[in-house]
DNA sequence: AGAAGTACCTTGCACGGCAAGGTACCGTGT
DNA sequence: ACACGGTACCTTGCCGTGCAAGGTACTTCT
């Protein structure tokens, strides 16, 4: 039960969020970074290593597409295994969130 | 608004939880570690550096107390500034949690 | 005496987020 | 024609932190 996934949650939140965004439609790193920057204050320098890692892990695949406003965009698309990862990470997150809330208790 | 605190949240969760535990009564590291290990899978090796950091930051103070079952226990006690830190970290956490939930959206 | 449990702490590793810097392409203004 | 600002890509180097593993010391139980 005390899987390493559980332990990795703190690091895994960003990955999970990116997976969640991609589950709603293909997207490219720069736009993902902008959304995440607004939402949770993620820096742009974070996204590219993250995306590469996810690609290496087989969670996403990529394709290029012209944009007409700058260099061609590299779109990322969820793979099946990415979708599975999303599902399991979300449930891990919920467990974690619950545990934290329990610890916080009436402090909140 | 995009304070570094926001960014630090992922690292700050453990600290916040420890502060929350201490807000319910003084405690010693070994016991805190046990509770946290059960709750969120924290390792024992994590707690001691963390407690020292918190002490350096003035969030906690310490006193020794004999235990009759092993070496004397080093109890930690929340300082005023620790209580303030707890309050602000909890509100940061709630913001973060909300942001994540928003991103997850109907994926959940 | 030895083992097991409590409680303290340190060291070395690995990973990931960040700031800063760098490249290249495009449209608009002068 | 040229410079500028925006879009979009990516890399490098640093630092913090969580972890596993190892180490010390005291007490109780067998």
Which of B93, B98, B100, B105 is the mutation pick for testing A, counting most A CBs within 10 A? B100
Which of chain D's bases lie under 7 Å from a protein CB? 6-13, 16-22, 25-28
Closest to B54 measured CA to CA, from B9, B25, B17, B97? B17
Q: Nearest residue of A to residue B102 by CA position?
A: A39
**Minimum distance, in Å, between the CA of residue B31 and any CA atom of chain A:** 14
pLDDT digits (tens, 9 = 90+) for B34-82: 999 988 888 899 999 999 999 999 999 999 998 777 889 999 999 999 9
The CATH number of A4-107, from 3.40.1360.10, 1.10.10.10, 3.60.70.12, 3.40.50.300, is 1.10.10.10
Residue pLDDT tens, chain A, 108 long: 444 556 566 677 899 999 999 999 999 999 999 999 988 888 899 999 999 999 999 999 999 998 877 889 999 999 999 999 999 989 888 988 899 999 998 666
What is chain B's mean pLDDT, rounded? 88
CATH classification for the domain delimited by B4-103, as one of 1.10.10.1100, 1.10.10.10, 2.40.50.140, 1.10.1040.10: 1.10.10.10
pLDDT at position A1, please? 40
Burial status of residue A42 (CB atoms within 10 A of its CB: 0-12, 13-18, 19 or more): buried
State how far Cα B18 lies from the chain centre: 3
Note the CA–C1' distance, B6 to C17, in angstroms: 13
d(CA B27, CA B47): 13
- The confidence band for B6, taking pLDDT boundaries of 50, 70 and 90, is low
Spans of all domains in chain A: 4-107
* Positive or negative: CA dihedral B55, B61, B65, B67: negative
């Amino acid at each position: 039960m005390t899987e390493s996934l559980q332990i990795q949650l703190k690091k895994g939140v960003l990955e999970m969020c990116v997976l969640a965004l991609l589950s709603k439609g293909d997207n490219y790193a720069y736009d993902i970074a902008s959304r995440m920057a607004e939402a949770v204050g993620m820096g742009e320098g974070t996204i590219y290593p993250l995306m590469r890692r996810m690609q290496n892990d087989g969670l996403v695949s990529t394709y290029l597409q012209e944009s007409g406003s700058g260099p061609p965009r590299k779109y990322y698309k969820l793979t099946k295994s990415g979708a599975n990862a999303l599902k399991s990470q979300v449930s891990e997150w919920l467990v974690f969130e619950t545990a934290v809330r329990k610890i916080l208790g009436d402090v909140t």
